[in-house]
Amino acid sequence: MAAGVSFQLLESLLTPGRITLLALLFTVSAFIVDFTWKPRYDKSLPRVGNGDGLVGTIKNWFGYVVHFNDWVDEGYEKYSKNDRSFVVHSAPSRPAEIVIPRSQTAWMLELPERILSTAEAHADVLYGHHQFLGVDDHFPISTIHKHLARNLVGLIPGVQDEIESAIDATFGKDTEEWKSLNLWEVWMAIVPRVTSRIVVGAPVCRDETFLKSQVAFADAVVRNSFILNMFPRILHPVVAPLAVLPNWWHWYKSYRVLKPVIEQRLQKMEGGGGGGEEMEEDMITWLIRQAEIEGRPHAPRLTPALISKMMLPVEFAAIHTTAITGHTLMLDLLSSDPKLGYLDTIREETSKVLKEEGKGGRWSKNTLTSLFKTDSAIRESMRLSHFATALTHRKVIAKEGITNPVEGWHAPYGSFMMLNLAGVHHDEDIYENPNTYDAFRFSRAREELEAGEKEGNSEDLLKAKKLGMVTTSDTYLPFSHGRHACPGRFFVAHELKMILAYLLQNYDIKPLAERPKPMWIGQTIVPPIQATVELRRRKGTV
């Protein structure tokens, strides 16, 4: 009887309206607690956005989604161009960021990891401790640094085969009828296969179950990053495990395909040997080899499950960034005035180099490096049509914080810093006509130097030599800059050149009347995935 009365009393108290109000109060309280935990920046640092304090911060949480780029642009014009740092508000779960001016790039990037951490910043931006299923990405990223570049020459033939096979399967070989294809779906059919060729090797890189699960995992990371951005960090221990349930499922589906391959490789490499057999050069091998080099137990104890999880951050980074870059590149090329002849020029250059220097139609490191115009077209697209406001972030992990030696402000433990890619790339003091896609902007100086037509001072010659798409600087940041610049950028450069060369040599593509516009959410874009292209196979290429 008493239990029934208590239940009725509880039911009368917990009305839908009261439950909603309690949930709202709980959420607001969580945001307030989060606010009190975040680092406080010197008042000498100017702010952009909707003001400071609790009320201003709440306004900025809502404004972040649609106005972040506007705020950073405003700060660039007012402060960065005058060599001053400024503060821009970030997503609700993250502290505001100090935007460092270009003049102080070297100071920020040269600070040791124990003071300003790249790894901690990446983990916070992507919520990596949750998203990558408990695996620290330090070991796989370190492995890429140590093994990808040294094996790149030997990887090119297999990558070329994968590119040509993927493009033929995606575009078809009909030389008569024009075909309309969704451009985003095209790139997502090509890039995962090519990326997986160097991560897991053939034939797994063509397995549909594996590829779909990797793409779905990458999509889940992007989606969850936005979700967790909008929740107060104090609630992440509850929200994150639920949000990443799809991550676990997508990983498990890929692991079922990959497990026997990894088991076989572990057996083959046991003791660092291989019985005299030629070892496959892919990330599975590199992870096992690097663990042996570092010596267990100091290196992770590699099991098939752990190895497959270590591939997740690499696959995620390579798939989405490369697909967006390729998608954007085609939009920039196809929406340019056809009279400029960008497509024909790249087609001519790639055909000529492959015919005169490629042996049997095969690409090599040297032939790919000599594609000045093709390289420039890609670099220019990455300069103009960037997919993030900033790709260089650092987190202050020194307990005592750090003090800026130029301006004198102090950043406490937990502070975030970033380099503004967008402002620098569109600065008319750095680039002539910065908002125009000039495909051969970077190749002209290189070609003049190569042909011996330019007799400039040593500074000019050195500058011309640094105009390749993989060369980073404080004025070119798509691959970040400094010692933590993207270790896969050399592979990506070769990959995109080979894709563009094969595509233009074998297909005619109709130009676009107008370039579809992306949509910005916070610091990143949502590409115009509805964009379509019309193409058909060129006669005589089947």
DSSP code of 478? B
Contact predicate 19/58, CB 8 Å:
no
- Supply 161's token pair: 């085969």
DSSP code of 499? H
Rounded Cα distance between 49 and 51, Å, is 6
Rounded Cα distance between 115 and 394, Å, is 9
CA distances from 492 to 64, 132, 303, 332 (A): 31, 23, 29, 18
* Helix (H) or strand (E) run with residue 403 in it: strand 402-403
Rounded Cα distance between 482 and 116, Å, is 13
Contacts of residues 359-362 at CB distance under 8 Å and 24 or more positions apart, as own/partner, are 362/157, 362/160
Rounded Cα distance between 204 and 213, Å, is 12
CA distances from 201 to 209, 316, 535 (A): 15, 17, 30
The DSSP result for 52-78, as a single string, is SHHHHHHHHHHHHHHHHHHHHHHHHHH
205 annotated to bind ligand = no
Residue 278 Cα to chain centre, angstroms: 33
Q: State the pairing for strand pair 519-521/97-100.
A: unpaired
The residue to which tokens 């995606």 are assigned: 170
Q: Which residues contact residue 525 at a Cβ distance below 8 angstroms, ignoring those fewer than 6 apart?
A: 324, 387, 388, 518, 519
Contact predicate 45/409, CB 8 Å:
yes
- Supply 367's token pair: 């032939």
**Diameter of the chain by CA atoms?**
100
Rounded Cα distance between 183 and 376, Å, is 22
27 phi and psi, to 5 degrees? Answer: -65, -45
The residue to which tokens 């010596």 are assigned: 295
DSSP code of 323? H
Listed residue (325, 327, 373, 376) closest to 515, CA to CA: 327
Rounded Cα distance between 258 and 204, Å, is 7
Exposure of 3 in the CB half-sphere (CA atoms within 13 A)? 0
Rounded Cα distance between 69 and 523, Å, is 7
Length of the chain: 542
Contact predicate 216/254, CB 8 Å:
no
DSSP code of 512? P
Q: Which residues are annotated as a binding site?
A: 486
Residues annotated within the binding site for heme are 486
